[in-house]
Structure 1
Amino acid sequence: MSKFYKRFFGLIMLVVVISGIVIYTTVDINTLKNLNQFQTWSIGLAIFAVGLGLFFDGSRLMHMVRISNENISLYQAVQVVFGNYFLALLTPGATGGAVAQLMFLRHAGVPTGKATVLVIVRTLLSICFLALCMPFIFWHDEGIVPGISNHTLMGITMTAFVAIIVMVVGARRGYMDYFVIWSTRHMRNDRRRKLFAFYRDTKCAIALLMQAPWKMLWVFMESGLNLLCIYAIVPCLMLGLGVMDADWYTIMGRMIFLNMLLYFTPTPGGSGVAEGGFVYLFSESVPAGTVGIIAVCWRLIAEYIPFLIGLYYTLTVFGRDFLSRQLNK
């Protein structure tokens, strides 16, 4: 059996096992009673929300490509977006997502150097939007992380944000060059070359961000709309269960916090961490016995359906043999 099939079936089994455990450990005597009141229209609303989010994702990619003096169609942008979902779920730490984006951008005619920069910018914009939201979340939602005060979390967030700004300015003006050279002087040559290449691409990404600030601000706004629409899946499902008087600010804030953590989890697509974190954060926000089911539905709509669409596009555009070669590298 090829490595591709092993990873694919391994992922399917992982998803089934995690989903089963999450549902089994969270159902109780109230589950069927509350599910009987579920309104199916909320599923359609959730699918509409994720569809709108994916549209903004493709739109921002098209705008970034135009800023780099290249051009792709909306259909090609859609392929990039869904391809990212596919390989991100198949690889630890979602590292394959960047590879998929690069593959589809190159297939769309974007030069490799620019494609690499665009992938970095796309990720940076999403992380920056989530980071900007963190202070507002910690200011409003007390005790989101057990054992750590929100003042401490706020301090950590602001420190990280300032550090990012310092690194961006330092890279832009060349000050970071000396630090990178100094910090890598004892590394092996191959690792040092890879780090230098990544640093060079990051500097190009920063230059692209500064090249057209007003256009990039629009792209940043689309990044935020993309993420907020996708996170709105959970409020949509809650409405279907009759949750009308919830603190929607807190719910969306916790979705932002959870998804920020998922950027740094080592499991494929954050599997396990996403479901466990969801159960912890939302167990008191939904009707009794339904938190595990909502967690699984959220992952199904937000990740697994786009994953299958990404599988279709990847096999259609590149073929099974090409994909197997990529996974065997």
Structure 2
Amino acid sequence: MADNSGKILKSIQPGKITFPIIIGLGVTGYFLYQEFDPTVVDYFSFTLQSLFWFFVSFAMMAIRDLGYIIRIRLLTSNQLTWRKAFNIVMLWEFTSAITPSAIGGTSVAIFFINKEGVRLGRSTAVVMVTSFLDELYFILTFPLILLFIGRTDIFAFGDASLEGLPWYQNQFFMFAFVGYLLKLAYTIVISYGLFFNPRGLKWLLLWIFKLPIIKRWRPQANESGSDLIATSEEFKKWSLLNWIKAFSATALSWTARYWVVNTLILAFFGVQLLGWGEHILIFGKQLVMWIMMLVSPTPGGSGFAEWVFREFLANMVPVGTGMAMAFMWRMVSYYPYLVIGAFIVPKWIRKHFIST
């Protein structure tokens, strides 16, 4: 891990925020120009109620981060202080924001946790458990939402109607279904390796580190594997209450994240626009959007996320306001992590690599 520090530090340079910002603003600007209509402004309401719900939107993201902080402290047996847990979550989100969605910040999260004083093997196990809990939330929530809402509404794209369309001809349903199966398979593998056969997971880790390009780190991989086995034994002895707490923190984080869009709609169009059924539909659509964003090749899904939002939620907001709402959504849920990360990363690097 120490030998690989240089590459990891290079990958989280604050200067990397420029690329995703340019892509995101470029795509947003293009579509705003394409659908520009001065009368659209009349749809937006700016009142004290708007200010309240806009504040709630940011509060939802704060709750999301708080859930992650609580979870990572639980998984490390409170070895991390609140400040260290906050730094790790912000670094994690910053890395996710400047790397392609398919890669995300998970690959370097182990590095962040380890540098804050947690053993390498335990850091690996903690990241694996967080991934397991994230996927478990999706696996449990998606079928419930689908059952409650129905396929016809949740997979409608743009203004297209899916009424009467066979499920096998609905490309978005098939896309989500395949993504769901992949998430399910991944969760099963993680569960098996972490809770039933950690030695098998160590064997796989050592087999991977036979590759010439990473062979020199095989001794560290062996040590990490041994720590992973020990940590796995600890997690297997966790009480049901601890697992409930960890999953509750996970559910809190993801649910708060998905409600950001709902609160923004309330902020700009008022409470009269949508009923509870429409709010649940928006929540369900975001689950599908999340699968789509996982395959985005751009950093943090920049550009792609705005386009998907505009098309997928087009029939949930007044005509012509889709891209403006997409921009506001990213302003609340994405760009703040770029700014916060740009401040935290230099201080974190100085603390762990320069002052020591």
TM-score (norm 1): 0.80
Gaps (5+ residues) in structure 1? Answer: 324-329
CA positional deviation for 1:137: 3.1
Q: Is the contact between residue 93 and residue 267 of structure 1 (CA under 8 Å) also seen in structure 2?
A: yes
Distance 1:27 1:284, change over 3 A: farther
Deviations 1:52-85 (A, max 9, x none): 111111111111110xxx6111111111111112
Cα distance in 1, alignment partners of residues 18 and 235 from structure 2: 39
Instruction: Among all aligned residue pairs of Structure 1 and Structure 2, give the percentage whose two residues are the same amino acid.
Output: 19
Q: Paired residue for 2:184?
A: 161
Counterpart residue type for residue 275 of structure 1: E
Deviations 1:233-255 (A, max 9, x none): 11001112122326111111111
1:12 aligns to 2:21 (yes or no): yes
Q: How does 1:280-319 map to 2 (within 5 A)?
A: 280-319=311-350
Distance 1:294 1:73, change over 3 A: same
Distance 1:20 1:209, change over 3 A: farther
Q: Is the contact between residue 62 and residue 73 of structure 1 (CA under 8 Å) also seen in structure 2?
A: yes
Distance 1:268 1:7, change over 3 A: same
1:78 aligns to 2:78 (yes or no): no
Distance 1:178 1:113, change over 3 A: closer
Counterpart residue type for residue 191 of structure 2: V
Q: Paired residue for 1:173?
A: 197
Counterpart residue type for residue 48 of structure 1: A
Residue from 40, 46, 52 that aligns with 1:31: 40
Cα distance in 2, alignment partners of residues 29 and 203 from structure 1: 62
Deviates more, 1:201-210 or 1:29-38: 201-210
Q: Is the contact between residue 102 and residue 112 of structure 1 (CA under 8 Å) also seen in structure 2?
A: yes
Q: Is the contact between residue 30 and residue 288 of structure 1 (CA under 8 Å) also seen in structure 2?
A: no
Q: Is the contact between residue 262 and residue 282 of structure 2 (CA under 8 Å) also seen in structure 1?
A: yes
Gaps (5+ residues) in structure 2? Answer: 1-9, 158-169
Q: Is the contact between residue 125 and residue 223 of structure 1 (CA under 8 Å) also seen in structure 2?
A: yes
Q: Paired residue for 1:116?
A: 124
Q: Is the contact between residue 7 and residue 90 of structure 1 (CA under 8 Å) also seen in structure 2?
A: yes
1:234 aligns to 2:261 (yes or no): yes
**Alpha-carbon RMSD:** 3.8
Counterpart residue type for residue 300 of structure 2: G
Q: How does 1:71-220 map to 2 (within 5 A)?
A: 71-93=79-101, 95=103, 97-98=105-106, 101-139=109-147, 140-143=149-152, 144=155, 147-148=170-171, 157=180, 161=184, 164-165=187-188, 168-169=191-192, 172-173=196-197, 188-190=211-213, 197=221, 200=225, 209-214=235-240, 215-220=242-247
Deviations 1:33-64 (A, max 9, x none): 11245623221110111111111111111111
CA positional deviation for 1:121: 2.0
TM-score (norm 2): 0.74
Cα distance in 2, alignment partners of residues 159 and 5 from structure 1: 32
Deviates more, 1:233-242 or 1:245-254: 245-254
Residue from 53, 61, 71 that aligns with 1:42: 53
